[in-house]
Amino acid sequence: GAVHVCWEGEIFPYVVSGQVSFSIPEEMVKGSLVGTIVQDLGLDLKRLKSGKARLYTRDSAGFIELNKERGVLLIKEKIDREALCRQTTPCALHFQITLENPLELFPVTVEITDINDNAPVFQKEERIFEISESAAVGSKFMLEKAVDPDIGINGLQRYTLKPIDNFILKSHPQSDGSKKVEMILQKPLDREKQEHISLILTAEDGGEPQMTGTMQIHITVLDANDNAPVFSQAIYKATITENSEKGKLVIKVTASDADSGQNGNVTYVVGNSMDPVSKLFRITRKGEVILDGPIDYEKEKIFNLDIEAIDQGGLSDSSKIIIDVSDVNDNSPTINMISTSASVPESSALNTVIALISVDDPDSENNGKVNCVINENVPFNIKFTSSNIYSLVTDGELDRERHSGYNIIVTCSDEGVPSLSSSVTLTLQISDVNDNAPVFERSSYEAYIIENNTPGVSVFTVKAKDADWNQNARVSYILEDSSVNGVPVSSYVSVSADSGVIHAVRSFDYEQIKDFQFCVKAQDGGSPPLSNNVTVKILIQDQNDNPPQVLYPVQSGGSTVAEMVPRSADVGYLVTKVVAVDVDSGQNAWLSYKLQKATDRALFEVGLQNGEIRTIRQVTDKDAVKQRLTVIVEDNGQPSRSDTVIVSVAVADSFPEVLSEFTDFPHDKEYNDNLPFYLVLALAVVSFLFITCLVVIISVKIYRWRQSRILYHSSLPVIPYYPPRYSDTLGTGTLPHVYNYEVCRTTDSRKSDIKVGRTGSQNMLIMDPSSTGTMQRMQSEKSILDEPDSPLQVRMRELSQRNTNH
């Protein structure tokens, strides 16, 4: 079938014809004829030209070329079969002849045959043997093989050896096709008759013409060993410097042997290999004694080295080498503390011995002479006492407050060249007397603690330092007696005697106490003790632990407080204002107001900062009369706290319309059903309080609590109160309008008369939806009532007294 190939970007079918093979010998000259393509492929010259015949080859480019004019293959470059294929057979070139229009492909194989163009070659031109005349007959001597790159009959065929008076040649075939060649002694050698023998080894191939390669074999007949080596001296002497480098020549010895050849060759060895000295030195074949390890004058001053000279026959002679080691200054003085004092009183007298020092230098002569000194600017001196002994003594006044200790550096140097030295540092402490009081790091301290802390928590650490030492510098911390608001300061804080850590004894409340101060005394452990005081101020930081408290509108249990909005009210009409307070401080007391629920969210909005409830559109007749708004008040603490208030708004122009709507609140019936229970409970509580007051002495706090309870169970009207400190500021405080309310009632009437005071454009209505005439009790806020003599409490007491009179 046809095969499709890509030719210059297009696809053509082509036909693969039969393979054509040629065989040529190697080394043909350039231009030689390989074969006739036209004849062998059955083509004509016209087809070769029109088809743009060309050769395609991968790895044999450059050896064969196509002559399209003649239709033949020619040698383009001389071919060396050995370079091309080495020992591989057969050796061939593979390529294709391609034709176009139509595309045809003709595989061509050209086999390269071998010719005898290489002679056998030995790697070495000559070989030297040294054979003892005592060698036994039949001894074998391996010979080098020759190499012939040709193959077949042209390759290496045989070896010959001439002359064959003493030796014969024997070859053995091997598995790789080569031959192992051995020379065998067939006749004993006699050095006295013939000392040198010359032979020729010839390698022959089988080509025509035959080619050969030769190697010269020179044999030296060695003499028999009948003379022992003799040293030139019985004892050798040498000198070497300690610490010499490894490989240094120490001495050269010689020994002679009257024999010739191998019997006259002498080998030198170090005797007694078990001796450690033999590992420090080695001797070469030339008799050179070489240093082979470290030597130290201080360890060994003289080495005795036994050496031996041995010939090839085993005969030997011995000698001795005495090696003297010369000293060099390679050891620094060694300093040892015989006795030393860890401390000395600052009142010590002059020449008080502090330490005894021993100094040694193992070097000899001047290399071992030592002088010692100490560092400057210290009140001490070093003196030579006796053989290698020095004493360190005081040489000035000692003051621990200026120097609590000294690092005395003792330096000892020898007199060698170059000089070597050693140093040792003696750390000496100066003992103290108690002459310094503790000193605090600061003249005063301020510490912060967040309120509602856990009792026992660490608040702050005071630190005092004493320039004295040891027990005299051991500082204890004492809380000085004082009081805070009439209470001992020890009930607020405590001080750790050892560390100076101040702990809170109680949990602080920012709303009760914002800061206080006290004194801490630092006292050392000397005798007598010295002390110093410091003032510590504790500042309580506020925490968001109080939710906002709504002051207005006041939420009462059963009564409804309604704000009236006329139907003619415009956009932005001020309905009322929610007033709240947070007893916390800072951002924890920043309040924001949001409308949580509303009957009609599209009618009202609450000011985020000021709590003002205003209309956001025009009131229409379709708006319900009864509007219920739930406002949430949040502070800015983390996490934030909140409170909610319900504001009832009456959208009407007259009171009758309002009354008809607000009397139908769903909780009115439930309130009327529970009214007798509330009245009985209130009467019982009031009676109990009255009897209790007759028995016990009424304190101010119990009296205030009783008044709040009376107010809680009474039927007093709801009276809003705005503390002076929450007056309106820039429109963000309390109500910017004044509201007046007045309630009139009698002891036997069932209804309450209500009088509403109108200010500006606002109306406020307080109604009792039940028919009993009893108003819901006012809910008291503990945080407001607890404030001593607040205007709200004063107002409550006045109302309570007025109610009692009625």
Domains in the chain (CATH in brackets) are 20-111 (2.60.40.60), 121-222 (2.60.40.60), 230-326 (2.60.40.60), 334-431 (2.60.40.60), 439-541 (2.60.40.60), 549-659 (2.60.40.60)
C-alpha angle 321-327-330 in degrees, rounded to nearest 5? 130
DSSP strand pairing (626-635 vs 591-598): antiparallel
pLDDT at position 785, please? 34
Distance CA 95, CA 61 (A): 9
Distance CA 552, CA 581 (A): 10
Whether residue 254 has pLDDT greater than 90: yes
pLDDT at position 712, please? 47
Q: Is 21 helix (H, G, I), strand (E, B) or coil?
A: strand
Over the stretch 756-766, which tens digit does the pLDDT of each residue have? 333 333 333 33
Give buried/exposed letters for 340-369 (b at 16+ CB in 10 A, else e).
eeebbebebeeeeebbebebebbbbeebbe
Q: Could you tell me the pLDDT band of residue 704, with boundaries at 50, 70 and 90? A: low
pLDDT at position 391, please? 92
Q: What is the dihedral of CA 183, 189, 194, 198, to 10 degrees?
A: 0
pLDDT at position 542, please? 85
Distance CA 795, CA 777 (A): 15
Q: How many percent of the chain have pLDDT more than 70?
A: 80
- Residue 30: count of CB within 10 angstroms of its CB: 10
Over the stretch 624-649, which tens digit does the pLDDT of each residue have? 888 888 999 998 888 888 889 988 88
Distance CA 578, CA 563 (A): 12
Whether residue 69 has pLDDT greater than 80: yes
Is residue 393 within 8 A of residue 428, CB to CB? The reply is no
Average pLDDT over residues 295-319: 87
Which of these ranges, 37-41, 497-501, 741-745, has the smallest mean pLDDT? 741-745
Distance CA 568, CA 549 (A): 33
- 438 — phi, psi (to 5°)? -60, 145
Distance CA 50, CA 33 (A): 23
- 651 — phi, psi (to 5°)? -95, 95
Is residue 589 within 8 A of residue 726, CB to CB? The reply is no
Q: Could you tell me the pLDDT band of residue 534, with boundaries at 50, 70 and 90? A: very high
- 679 — phi, psi (to 5°)? -65, -45
Over the stretch 552-587, which tens digit does the pLDDT of each residue have? 888 765 555 678 888 888 888 998 999 999 888 888
* Mean pLDDT rounded to a whole number for the chain: 78
Residue pointed to by tokens 């595309």: 103
pLDDT at position 381, please? 93
CB-hemisphere CA count at 13 Å for 479? Answer: 21
Distance CA 291, CA 251 (A): 10
Which of these ranges, 29-33, 236-240, 354-358, 798-802, has the smallest mean pLDDT? 798-802
What is the pTM for the complete model shown? 0.36
Token pair listed for 345 = 């009183």
pLDDT at position 564, please? 83
Higher pLDDT, 738 or 506: 506
Q: Could you tell me the pLDDT band of residue 243, with boundaries at 50, 70 and 90? A: confident
Whether residue 502 has pLDDT greater than 70: yes
As to burial, measured by CB atoms within 10 angstroms (0-12 exposed, 13-18 middle, 19+ buried), residue 269 is middle
Helices in 45-95 by DSSP H: which ranges? 45-50, 81-85
Tell me how far CA of residue 523 lies from CA of 460, 538, 601, 723, in angstroms. Answer: 19, 22, 71, 51
Whether residue 176 has pLDDT greater than 70: no
Q: What is the dihedral of CA 598, 600, 601, 605, to 10 degrees?
A: -80
Q: Could you tell me the pLDDT band of residue 769, with boundaries at 50, 70 and 90? A: very low
Whether residue 779 has pLDDT greater than 70: no
- CB-based contacts of 210, cutoff 8 Å, min separation 6: 116, 204
Whether residue 105 has pLDDT greater than 60: yes
Distance CA 747, CA 773 (A): 10
pLDDT at position 689, please? 81
Distance CA 179, CA 531 (A): 111
Is residue 395 within 8 A of residue 350, CB to CB? The reply is yes
Q: Give which of 463, 521, 518, 522 is closest to 493, Cα–Cα.
A: 518
The top-scoring range by mean pLDDT among 131-145, 364-378, 767-781 is 364-378
Distance CA 768, CA 299 (A): 121
Is residue 173 within 8 A of residue 166, CB to CB? The reply is no
Higher pLDDT, 177 or 455: 455
The DSSP output letter for 149 is: -
Is residue 325 within 8 A of residue 297, CB to CB? The reply is yes
Token pair listed for 44 = 């004509």
Is residue 447 within 8 A of residue 503, CB to CB? The reply is no
- 640 — phi, psi (to 5°)? -75, 155
Is residue 631 within 8 A of residue 578, CB to CB? The reply is yes
Whether residue 249 has pLDDT greater than 70: yes
> Given phi > 0 = left and psi -120 to 50 = alpha, else beta, which region is 338?
alpha
DSSP assignments along 654-709, one per residue = SHHHHHHHHTT-TTHHHHHHHHHHHHHHHHHHHHHHHHHHHHS---HHHHHHHHHH
pLDDT at position 569, please? 84
pLDDT at position 532, please? 93
DSSP assignments along 258-279, one per residue = SS-GGGG-EEEEES-TTSGGGG
- Residue 23: count of CB within 10 angstroms of its CB: 13
DSSP assignments along 339-394, one per residue = EE-SEEETTPPTT-EEEEEEEE--S-GGGG-EEEEE-SSSSEEEEEEETTEEEEEE
Distance CA 223, CA 449 (A): 112
Is residue 212 within 8 A of residue 202, CB to CB? The reply is yes
Q: Give which of 791, 779, 781, 786 is closest to 705, Cα–Cα.
A: 786
Is residue 509 within 8 A of residue 458, CB to CB? The reply is no
Average pLDDT over residues 260-282: 81
Q: Could you tell me the pLDDT band of residue 660, with boundaries at 50, 70 and 90? A: low
Whether residue 767 has pLDDT greater than 70: no
Q: How many percent of the chain have pLDDT more than 90?
A: 22
- Residue 325: count of CB within 10 angstroms of its CB: 20
The DSSP output letter for 556 is: B
Whether residue 480 has pLDDT greater than 70: yes
Average pLDDT over residues 701-710: 63
Which of these ranges, 93-97, 621-625, 711-715, 773-777, has the smallest mean pLDDT? 773-777
Average pLDDT over residues 652-667: 63
pLDDT at position 728, please? 39
pLDDT at position 760, please? 36
Q: Give which of 214, 195, 219 is closest to 204, Cα–Cα.
A: 214
- CB-based contacts of 14, cutoff 8 Å, min separation 6: 2, 3, 4, 5, 98, 102, 103, 104, 105
Is residue 578 within 8 A of residue 484, CB to CB? The reply is no
CB-hemisphere CA count at 13 Å for 291? Answer: 20
pLDDT at position 430, please? 87
Q: Could you tell me the pLDDT band of residue 748, with boundaries at 50, 70 and 90? A: very low
pLDDT at position 675, please? 64
